[in-house]
Structure 1
Amino acid sequence: MNFKGIILIVCAVIFSVASYSFDKNCVTSKCHTDFKKFKIIHSPVEEDCESCHEKTGKHEFKLFYKDVNQVCTDCHEDRGGGKFLHGALKMKKCIFCHNPHGGDTKALIRTKRVDATCFECHDRETKEGKYIHGPNISGNCSICHDAHSSDNRYLLISPQEQLCVNCHTDKNYTNSGKKMHTALEDGCTGCHNPHASSFKYQLITSPKKICSECHSDLVDQAKQALYKHPPVNDGKGCVNCHDPHGSLYDNNLKDNQVSLCLSCHNKPIIGTDGKDYNIFKILTENPQKHGPIREGNCAGCHNPHGSNFYKILVAQYPKKFYTPYEKKRYSLCFECHEANLAENPETTVDTNFRNGSENLHYVHVHKKKGRTCRACHMAHASKLPKHIREETPFGKWDIPINFTINKNGGSCSPGCHRGYKYNRINPEKYQ
């Protein structure tokens, strides 16, 4: 074969291949050059358009199936097996979201960002707000939602109560021993907007209002209380003391009651006598702790949300140093202590502070200027048994008490009267 014959054969082969390419691969044709602009070209487009299209005439094609989704599921796994279907999938319109020829993302989404495709149907207001959820601001809705189907409402990729801790791992309290806030049992959206909000942490409303959605009784109490607890109404409000997600302690407290209270009450506080009291210092320096303190129960005497009784006490207690005796005035003390120790003038069982059977508690409180409990006892802690004071405040003077105790009685020699002894077995004779 001469050289001219070889050239003719080569040209015939080239023409044949070119003809095939133009017939089979539209990407290289003069009609669909825009397909080449995609960063990622759908593989059938690169390989053979007739994988999806059937030729019906000169440059006339139709899909193999009337159902577009069926064309897709010939190659792609059917993603519609979940309990909840995406609307586009329910309508069998994969092409609502995907470009069947190519795109700028691996999933061939029609837009450069996932959220732009979503907003063609969904309300763009989900991005409105000063504080926007990270996946939302990055435009990646698929971090939380399955674009095809799911067994969870809103096409969430996990049950709502699990979804958030997929990223917020520090809020996953499984096997941590922490008690989860009951508001989180059904997920985080009771308090947080998962898309965007005008409030920090994407809260659904202001921090001061959000707790009232469930705890309206406590919020109302705090507002109406005559004596208010500053942390409830100042700054962060409830979260000054409570962890809104979960805690090792009851009522979602950030720490045990005593430690939590002392995180503020570790500095001087003005008492009713006008003097400074540092509760941390009192508890640290005095080994004899009042029962509620020993039990770690500050709320046994104080209402942390506010109260109509001074010092945010849970019940009535005399505010003044001297006061005529009435049982109701000592409601706080009598929640734990028997009222008989102050009401029976004679007893051998109600109290050990007696001279024979004469009730010395009764003697002190049943006067025109009845002494209140604080005259002799420290409410939090003391160095002496029975929480007896070493000194009692009286205006500018701290009156020494000089109390001693022995097997059958004791004595005191305070600045307010001469020294007296008492004995339960052999009563002292008073003149």
Structure 2
Amino acid sequence: MAPYLNHRTAGETIEWMLRGVAAFLALLVISAGTLAAQQTTAGAGDYVGSDSCGICHSEQFEQFKKTYMATVLAEKYPVEQQGCEACHGPGRLHMEAESEAEDEAARQQAATLIYSFARHSSAENAAKCLLCHRKNENERLFSRSKHLAAGVFCADCHTAHLTATAEIPTKPTAPLRNLFSIPDWPAERQWLDNRLLREPQPNLCFNCHKDIEALFQLPVRHRVNEGLVRCTDCHNPHGSLSEYELRAGNHDTCMKCHVEKGGPFVYEHAAARIEGCTACHTPHGSINLNLMKRRQQRQLCLECHAPPEAVGIPHPRLGFQAAGECTRCHIDIHGSNYQEKFLR
């Protein structure tokens, strides 16, 4: 079985869940303390506005103005939730100390008077993000995220400032351009900027998931490298109620694209409904046609449709011959509305 399909034991699953919950609770405690401290020590007069920050931090300010984050943290919100200071905290003391600093020691001291993400741990920075980012469906499940349990935090994948756009690759030539609908690259760059990712997918994910990257080099694969499918089309990196951080169950995730295989059918294939598509297919890449787990289909079928002592094909007419595929006769293998055995 492929390494990414290995099932954990119940004890290992519980351990992962407990680690994630413990990490999430720690983040909530940190974020609550951070918010309380900020609210009790800062008044409206302590906030100077992003334009003031841009006097010294011009490069970061110009980057930030182009982001979706800058649009969200606009003047319609209270002053403590606007622009730079929504994340870095009130800037008046920092500005005054910086303007009066006469040597490096004084400037270093001034830098401590405002929240600097470079000076704090990943967990503390994530707690800052969670002051706002725990309201929508994607982020509510962060406590269950394998990323959180593994010590991967927001800033490992995201940056609050504009990221450098990826180099535009050469457009595919015929016949590839007729086979694939390659995304519009300006739109792709806008998508990258709006999500504030450090790198575009799939490169960002491949930085850690090297085993999965290797699978996408196999001859039969989902078109992730070509940009037709993204990792987050199937997985929710912020957490999920499903295994492997899938956005839905094994079967339902695949049916978002492979609608014709989803049914419901009068006669269902139990493997597809109960175990899901990965009972027969490998989702990332394979050397076999149709992403099958076995080169010969009958070998795959016999994993379920034969007792342990059986040899060959358990069919009275075909006997124990060495060749032949079950789908020669059982053509509607995903399910049928007409034939219980999925026959022609």
Task: Using structure 1 for the length normalisation, give the TM-score.
Answer: 0.46
Partner letter of residue 237 of structure 1? Answer: R
Task: Say yes or no: does 1:333 pair with 2:333.
Answer: no
Alignment of 1:127-142 (within 5 A): 127-128=62-63, 131-132=66-67, 134=69, 140-142=83-85
C-alpha spacing 1:245/1:203, structure 2 compared with 1 (3 Å): same
Partner letter of residue 342 of structure 1? Answer: V
Determine the C-alpha separation between the residues in 2 that align with 1:361 and 1:112: 75
Determine the C-alpha separation between the residues in 2 that align with 1:166 and 1:133: 18
Q: Which residue in the other structure is 1:380 paired with?
A: 334
> Unmatched 5+ residue regions in structure 1?
1-81, 83-104, 267-277, 319-329, 344-358, 392-431
Q: Secondary structure at the match of 2:311?
A: helix
Alignment of 1:325-364 (within 5 A): 330-336=298-304, 337-338=306-307, 340-343=309-312, 361=315, 364=318
Contact 1:126 1:196 in 2 (8 A): no
Task: Say yes or no: does 1:164 pair with 2:144.
Answer: no
Q: Which residue in the other structure is 1:279 paired with?
A: 261
**1:197 deviation in Å?**
1.2
Partner letter of residue 205 of structure 1? Answer: E
C-alpha spacing 1:238/1:248, structure 2 compared with 1 (3 Å): same
**1:172 deviation in Å?**
7.7
**1:183 deviation in Å?**
5.5
Match of 2:51 among 110, 113, 122: 113
CA deviations 1:43-69 (Å, max 9, x no partner) are: xxxxxxxxxxxxxxxxxxxxxxxxxxx
More strand by share: 1
Match of 1:298 among 277, 282, 294: 277
**1:192 deviation in Å?**
0.7
Contact 2:223 2:229 in 1 (8 A): no
CA deviations 1:329-380 (Å, max 9, x no partner) are: x44234444464334xxxxxxxxxxxxxxx9637515448x44222343532
Q: Secondary structure at the match of 2:88?
A: coil
Aligned length: 240
C-alpha spacing 1:131/1:175, structure 2 compared with 1 (3 Å): closer
Contact 2:222 2:229 in 1 (8 A): no
Contact 2:134 2:140 in 1 (8 A): no
Q: Secondary structure at the match of 2:257?
A: coil
> Rg larger in 1 or in 2?
1
Determine the C-alpha separation between the residues in 2 that align with 1:134 and 1:234: 25
Determine the C-alpha separation between the residues in 2 that align with 1:180 and 1:341: 42
C-alpha spacing 1:256/1:215, structure 2 compared with 1 (3 Å): same
Q: Which residue in the other structure is 1:269 paired with?
A: none
Q: Which residue in the other structure is 1:144 paired with?
A: 87
Alignment of 1:186-225 (within 5 A): 186-198=152-164, 199-200=192-193, 201-222=195-216, 224-225=217-218
Identity of aligned residues (%): 21
Determine the C-alpha separation between the residues in 2 that align with 1:301 and 1:260: 15
Alignment of 1:91-110 (within 5 A): 106-107=45-46
Q: Secondary structure at the match of 1:388?
A: coil
Partner letter of residue 166 of structure 1? Answer: L
**1:262 deviation in Å?**
1.6
Determine the C-alpha separation between the residues in 1 that align with 2:50 and 2:224: 48
**1:204 deviation in Å?**
0.6
Determine the C-alpha separation between the residues in 2 that align with 1:170 and 1:261: 27
Task: Using structure 2 for the length normalisation, give the TM-score.
Answer: 0.56
**1:226 deviation in Å?**
1.6
RMSD across aligned positions (CA) = 4.0
**1:175 deviation in Å?**
7.2
Determine the C-alpha separation between the residues in 2 that align with 1:112 and 1:219: 40
C-alpha spacing 1:166/1:172, structure 2 compared with 1 (3 Å): farther
**1:303 deviation in Å?**
0.9
Determine the C-alpha separation between the residues in 2 that align with 1:360 and 1:108: 77
Contact 1:257 1:298 in 2 (8 A): yes
**Structure having greater relative contact order (Cα 8 Å, sep ≥ 6):** 2
Contact 1:162 1:187 in 2 (8 A): no
Determine the C-alpha separation between the residues in 1 that align with 2:51 and 2:64: 20
C-alpha spacing 1:169/1:177, structure 2 compared with 1 (3 Å): closer
